[in-house]
């Protein structure tokens, strides 16, 4: 499958994700999906309509962020991949599953979601994944190699809150849906020039704000 081709179906999504995963990774993703769907009956992790499209809407939508880091990168030694407001584990849990060589830190303040995420890391044996159940403002800052956030906060607020965890070398990979271009345009010119908007493979009208 062309890595830049739009992902239009569940079949497309599975094929796309398989390009990033080995057999063990795909098995972990299958198990993660099963756990998520079961937990979605207990708490609202994803919308019920999106369950039927979970591989396109959530798994592949997260996996595509790996396009913006090298497969052979050694930069992970500079710090973890920090995922803010990870919610049900998107994109952070998917990244942790697909790249066990990346240290990942998932930040989520809602207690029931934190419990679910910690259960997933234990069940899936993800030694590379740490879940922090706290508001970002209360966490002792550390340098991050990548910062991602799918539905954490408006862009300007997100950049302000994440600044203590960022260096000049930190990559930002921020799926912002259909508001991406508008939010990018609202940044001060001096900040806007270091970011750009990429097209999402899972929604032609959605964008990903990147500093890589």
Q: What is the mean pLDDT of residues 94-108?
A: 97
Of 14, 53, 46, 42, give the one whose Cα is nearest residue 30: 14
Assigned CATH class of 10-167: alpha beta
For residue 107, what is the enclosing H or E element?
strand 104-107
Mean of pLDDT over the chain: 95
The yes-or-no verdict on residue 193 having pLDDT over 70 is yes
Residue with tokens 């910690």: 118
Q: For residue 115, give both structure tokens.
A: 């419990």
Structure tokens belonging to residue 44: 């609202």
Tell me the whole-structure pTM to 2 decimals.
0.95
pLDDT of residue 74: 55
pLDDT for position 3:
61
Name the token pair of 99.
Answer: 């790249």
Look at residue 77 in the predicted model and tell me its pLDDT.
62
Q: Which has the closest alpha carbon to 212: 198, 195, 200? A: 195
Residue 177 has pLDDT above 80, yes or no: yes
In this prediction, residues 183-200 reach a mean pLDDT of 96
Dump pLDDT digits (tens) for 4-45: 789 999 999 999 999 999 999 999 999 999 999 999 999 999
Residue 76's pLDDT is 56
Q: How much is the average pLDDT of 164-173? A: 96
pLDDT of residue 2: 58
With cut-offs at 50, 70 and 90, classify the pLDDT of residue 78. confident
Does the pLDDT of residue 70 top 90, yes or no? no
Confidence bin at 212 (pLDDT 50/70/90): confident
For the residues 53-66, what does the mean pLDDT come to?
98
What's the distance, CA 8 to chain centroid? 20
In the chain, where does DSSP find H-type helix? 10-18, 23-39, 54, 61-63, 92-98, 111-123, 155-162, 180-185, 189-192
What does the pLDDT read at residue 172?
98
Q: Domain boundaries in the chain?
A: 10-167
């Amino acid at each position: 499958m062309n890595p830049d081709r739009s992902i239009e179906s569940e079949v497309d999504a599975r094929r796309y994700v398989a390009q990033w995963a080995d057999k063990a990774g795909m098995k972990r993703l299958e198990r993660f999906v099963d756990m998520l769907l079961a937990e979605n009956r207990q708490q609202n992790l994803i919308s019920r309509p999106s369950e039927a499209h979970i591989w396109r809407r959530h798994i592949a939508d997260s996996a595509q962020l790996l396009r913006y880091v090298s497969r052979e990168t050694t930069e992970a030694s500079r710090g973890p991949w920090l995922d803010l407001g990870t919610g049900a584990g998107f994109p952070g849990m998917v990244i942790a599953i697909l790249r066990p060589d990346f240290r990942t830190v998932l930040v989520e303040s809602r207690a029931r979601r934190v419990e679910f995420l910690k259960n997933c890391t234990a069940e899936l044996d993800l030694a590379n994944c740490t879940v922090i159940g706290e508001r970002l403002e209360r966490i002792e800052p550390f340098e991050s190699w990548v910062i991602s956030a799918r539905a954490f906060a408006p862009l300007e607020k997100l950049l302000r809150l994440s600044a203590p965890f960022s260096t000049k070398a930190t990559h930002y990979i921020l799926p912002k849906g259909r508001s991406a271009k508008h939010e990018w345009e609202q940044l001060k010119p001096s900040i806007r020039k270091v970011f750009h908007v990429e097209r999402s493979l899972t929604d032609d009208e959605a964008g990903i704000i990147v500093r890589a």
